[in-house]
Amino acid sequence: MLALADRFEADLPVAEVDVTSTADLTRLVEPSDVVVSTIGPFMRLGMAAVTAAARAGAHYFDSTGEGTFARRVLLELDAVATVRGATLVPAFGYDYVPGNLAGALALTRAGERARHVEAGYFITRAGQGDELLHRSTLRDAYTLTTPGTRRTLVAAAAEDGFAYRSPRPWSTARVVDERVGKRVRTFHYGGVKRTAMTVPGTEHLGLPEVFPQLESVEVGLGWFGRWTRPVQIAATIQAPLLRSAKARAALERWSERLPGSQREPDPDGRSLVIAVARDSRGRPLAASALTGPDPYEMTGSLLAWAAAHAAQPDAVLKPGAHGPVAAFGLDTLRLGAAEAGVHEVDGAPARRR
């Protein structure tokens, strides 16, 4: 980071502060500022920056993929951000903007009959025929990701996840605790069946804010192809073991030392996100599919667009801590995603068995 600061010091003011000190960061941030945070792991290092932004009345975006961190921001800082006029949108990248956008598009088309929505995140490849027909493999999950991402996935397996659903029949839907990978969902697109295991995302909190009739929201990670169910079983078995800090640290170190772990991700990686809106009986009403660059390029492009948009004097953002659809509005978010290379694909048939 210091080397990066040296590169820009001649053109931009650079301040060196303790990123874990809310007091120091609050003195640094002003109401007109836009804060973009890439300080991870976010549960350990990221809370001070977003708290400072909320207290200062600044706009805030980050690159986290940690659902537990995003949940904490949305539930704990909404009140202070609203009072101060700040807009906080955690996880403003591949995790979890395209799922929120695809889900909102599907729900809008489905109309008031929609009661359930599912979003699945997949990786695919360019340059191998129709990239939309490529079904990812376990090898893709390794060659298209960085060691840091793999370490995050290992850590996530030990964390308590969450979902949005009714905790029991006939009760009101809400965010409930649920372990990572509790369910496997199947998406059909373009004649290809893809499986995804459930993970926590900002869709669980953001979409019900915009579509209050929702009774359930599910988000799935489908990077592992045919290995999804074995990975789900392994994650379930390993979760109690990984609650040991020593065991988790050892597995994280191992995940970063795999052969080729220092190699950059393959450049032909692409992203595919599919969302399906369903009625009260689970029947599909509408679907939306988005394609875009690889997760890392997408995250950088989305953060850059959000920061530039929020910095405009006439920008209209909803104060408080929100998902991306509520914060920007669906039309603005759709245009911003397109600027970042995320585009909707027409005619995405989908069903679940």
The tens digit of pLDDT for each residue in 38-54 reads 988 898 899 999 999 99
Helix (H) or strand (E) holding 291: strand 284-293
Amino acid at 182: K
**HEC per residue, 169-227:** CCCCCEEEECCCCCCEEEEEECCEEEEEEECCCCHHHHHHHHCCCCCEEEEEECCCHHH
What's the rounded Cα separation, in Å, for the pair 89 and 259?
36
Containing 148, the helix (H) or strand (E) segment is: helix 147-158
For the four alpha carbons of 349, 192, 97 and 342, in that order, the dihedral sign comes to negative
Predicted pLDDT of residue 348: 45
Q: Which residue has the higher pLDDT, 156 or 312?
A: 312
Distance CA 52, CA 26 (A): 5
**Tokens standing for residue 63:** 């690159």
Task: Determine how many CB atoms are found less than 10 A away from the CB of residue 161.
Answer: 22
**323, pLDDT greater than 60:** yes
Which residues are 288's β-sheet partners?
Answer: 275
- In sequence order, the β-bridge partners of residue 187 are 194
Residue found by looking up tokens 């800090």 in the block: 245
**pLDDT of amino acid 349:** 45
Stronger pLDDT, 140 or 350, i.e. the higher one: 140
Contact (Cβ atoms closer than 8 angstroms) between residue 65 and residue 91: yes
Instruction: Please tell me the chain's helix, strand, coil percentages from 3-state DSSP, rounded to the nearest 5.
Output: 45, 20, 35
pLDDT category at 150 given cuts 50, 70, 90 is low
Task: Taking residues 282-297, report their average pLDDT.
Answer: 93
Does residue 4 or residue 213 have the better pLDDT? 213
Q: What average pLDDT score do residues 184-203 get?
A: 90
pLDDT, greater one: 339 or 226: 339
Q: Are strands 320-321 and 87-89 parallel, antiparallel or unpaired?
A: parallel
Asked if residues 307 and 36 have their Cβ atoms less than 8 Å apart, the reply is: yes
Number of H helices, E strands in the chain: 15, 13
Cα separation of 205 and 211, whole Å?
A: 11
More confident residue, 317 or 250: 317
Is the Cβ–Cβ distance between 162 and 175 less than 8 Å? yes
Structural domains of the chain, with CATH = 2-93 (3.40.50.720), 97-295+328-345 (3.30.360.10)
Q: Which residue has the higher pLDDT, 148 or 13?
A: 13
Residue 164 has pLDDT above 50, yes or no: yes
Please name every residue paired with 164 in a beta bridge, in sequence order, or none if there are none: 175, 217
Q: Report residue 18 CA to chain centroid gap.
A: 26
Report the candidate in 106, 131, 129, 94 with the shortest Cα–Cα distance to residue 351.
106
pLDDT tier for residue 283 given thresholds of 50, 70 and 90: very high
| DSSP three-state, residue 57 | coil
Predicted confidence at residue 268, as pLDDT, reads 79
Instruction: Give the model's confidence band at 319: pLDDT under 50 very low, under 70 low, under 90 confident, else very high.
Output: very high
Integer Cα distance of 5 and 132 in angstroms:
39
pTM for the structure as a whole: 0.89
Q: Can you tell me whether residue 162 is helix, strand or coil? A: strand
> What is the distance in angstroms between the CA of the first residue and the CA of the last residue of the chain?
48
**Residue with the two structure tokens 């991870």:** 40
Whether the link from the prior residue into 96 is cis, omega within 30° of 0, is yes
Check: CB of residue 125 under 8 Å from CB of residue 134: yes
pLDDT for 222-250, tens place per residue?
988 888 888 877 777 666 666 666 766 66
- DSSP conformational letter for 112: G
